[in-house]
């Protein structure tokens, strides 16, 4: 290693190294950006199809939402000309960060299914919310008031049972479902547009 | 040291996790399932070999004063590339490992090997060192994940192997379990290595 390393040598070497790394990164980005985008789109498509099975095509529904709304996007699902229902993408705040979910609500107002697209909840606890034993509780429910979370016992039509030891996660997902129901309610009564 | 020794030293004698105690943070956090442990280990190995090779190639070119900064740029560059490649071609693993892929940049193992070995040895030896350390890390992660997943969740690689009546020790999946299992394994492995060392003499 040289003794008289002046500022210019140091800066110069760092510049060359960073420039080459930047070039390599740009190339890999160029190579992968489209595939990454396609993966994300496919994932959203798959989630929509999973929660509204009879729908064949989806149309984005433009909405006026408040900043603190949990709702990201609403898609109307059609089979031919007939409205099958709505897919609502919501992101409530879970225990370990935002939970990205898709809620399928049929035209008659009942929930068809709830799918968790991504979450970073505690493995073995909050992550169990993805199991059908929990997420399946929402299917078929048609409610007029927000769904409540109970810890044990028999759940009536307006309630669901939380995952044992993961109340925060369970409540977050329920909040997401309630937000979805609320926005579809608004849409159908001609409110949000 | 012979070439083979450079490769195998990272697996037991100088295992980065159990002997050198490097990279503890991702070890504790990622070993909640075997799939995660394996995925992280192999990704870190790829970065380790690549960065060892490049830093060894540049070792006469980088002035002493800016060596850490240069190593970090190289390591971060490789991690970013691996992250993009995973997101594009192995999206399931990418989602599963999540935040821990970018955290490979600060995995002490990589910087430690760059500073302690790659900056002072030939490319060939550095590559072998990186591979050996990476494999040792992967094996350590897999061992810890296996214990935590089987006993803490009743599954291995996602497959339920202990049957429905098994009550999993959920604590093992959580942070306290990680510390406890890691501590016990470090004690056990160092005991074995010490005993073997005693007998050889």
Considering only CB atoms, which chain A residues are within 8 Å of B74? 17, 21
pLDDT band with cut points at 50, 70 and 90 for residue A189: confident
A120·B99 Cβ contact <8 A: yes
Chain A stretch 137-166, residues whose beta carbon is closer than 8 A to a beta carbon of chain B: 165
Kindly tell me the burial class for residue B127, based on how many C-beta atoms sit within 10 Å of its own C-beta (0-12, 13-18, 19 or more): buried
Looking at residues A95-111, what average pLDDT do you find?
90
d(CA A143, CA B66): 64
pLDDT in tens, B74-105: 999 999 999 999 999 988 888 877 777 888 88
pLDDT in tens, A120-142: 787 667 888 888 889 889 998 88
pLDDT band with cut points at 50, 70 and 90 for residue A5: low
What local confidence, expressed as pLDDT, does residue A193 receive? Answer: 41
Chain B stretch 111-150, residues whose beta carbon is closer than 8 A to a beta carbon of chain A: none
Question: Which of A5, A10, A123 comes nearest B33 by C-beta?
Answer: A123
d(CA A173, CA A170): 5
d(CA B69, CA A14): 8
pLDDT in tens, B2-41: 778 888 888 888 899 998 999 898 899 888 889 888 988 9
- Mean pLDDT, all residues of chain A: 87
A124·B152 Cβ contact <8 A: yes
What local confidence, expressed as pLDDT, does residue B167 receive? Answer: 81
B170·A122 Cβ contact <8 A: no
**Residue B103 contacts residue B79 (beta carbons within 8 Å):** no
Cβ-Cβ contacts under 8 Å between A and B: the total is: 75
What local confidence, expressed as pLDDT, does residue B201 receive? Answer: 43
B95·A165 Cβ contact <8 A: no
Looking at residues A48-76, what average pLDDT do you find?
86
Q: Which residues lie closer than 8 Å to B99 by C-beta, 6 or more apart?
A: A120
What local confidence, expressed as pLDDT, does residue A192 receive? Answer: 46
Rounded to 5 degrees, what are φ and ψ at A111?
Answer: -80, 130
Q: Which of B2, B24, B3, B5 is nearest to B13 (CA)?
A: B5
Put simply, whether B152 touches A (Cβ < 8 Å) is yes
ipTM for the predicted complex comes to: 0.76
d(CA A190, CA A73): 17
d(CA B62, CA A170): 53
Q: Which of B104, B105, B183, B168 is nearest to B138 (CA)?
A: B104
């Amino acid at each position: 290693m040289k003794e008289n390393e002046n500022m210019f040598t140091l800066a110069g070497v760092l510049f060359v190294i960073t420039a080459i790394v930047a070039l390599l990164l740009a190339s890999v980005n160029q190579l992968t950006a489209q595939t990454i985008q396609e993966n994300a789109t496919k994932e959203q498509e798959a989630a929509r199809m999973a929660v509204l099975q009879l729908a064949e095509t989806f149309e984005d529904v433009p909405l006026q939402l408040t900043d603190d709304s949990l709702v990201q996007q609403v898609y109307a699902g059609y089979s031919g000309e007939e409205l099958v229902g709505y897919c609502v993408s919501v992101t409530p705040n879970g225990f370990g960060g935002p939970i990205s979910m898709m809620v399928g609500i049929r035209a008659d107002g009942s929930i068809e299914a709830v799918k968790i697209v991504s979450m970073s909840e505690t493995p073995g606890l909050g992550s169990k919310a993805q199991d059908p034993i929990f997420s399946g509780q929402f299917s078929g429910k048609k409610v007029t008031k927000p769904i409540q979370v109970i810890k044990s016992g028999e759940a009536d039509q307006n309630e669901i049972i939380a995952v044992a030891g993961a109340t925060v996660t369970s409540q977050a997902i329920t909040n997401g479902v309630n937000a979805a129901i609320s926005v579809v309610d608004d849409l159908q009564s001609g409110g949000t547009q | 040291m012979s070439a083979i020794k450079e490769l195998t030293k990272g697996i037991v004698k100088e295992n980065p996790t159990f002997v050198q105690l490097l990279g503890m943070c991702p070890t504790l956090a990622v070993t909640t399932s075997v799939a995660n442990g394996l995925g992280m280990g192999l990704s870190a190995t790829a970065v380790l070999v690549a960065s060892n090779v490049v830093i060894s190639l540049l070792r006469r070119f980088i002035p002493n004063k800016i060596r850490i900064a240069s190593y970090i740029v190289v390591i971060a560059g490789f991690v970013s590339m691996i992250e993009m490649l995973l997101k594009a071609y192995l999206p399931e693993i990418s989602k599963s490992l999540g935040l821990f892929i970018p955290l490979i940049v600060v995995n002490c193992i990589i910087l430690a090997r760059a500073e302690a070995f790659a900056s002072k040895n030939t490319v060939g030896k550095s590559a072998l060192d990186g591979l050996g350390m990476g494999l040792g890390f992967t094996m350590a992660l897999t061992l810890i994940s296996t214990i935590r997943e089987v006993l803490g969740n009743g599954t291995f690689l996602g497959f339920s192997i202990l049957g429905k009546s098994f009550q999993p020790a959920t604590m093992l999946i959580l942070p306290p379990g990680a510390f406890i299992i890691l501590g016990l394994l470090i004690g056990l492995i160092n005991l074995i290595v010490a005993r073997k060392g005693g007998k050889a003499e």
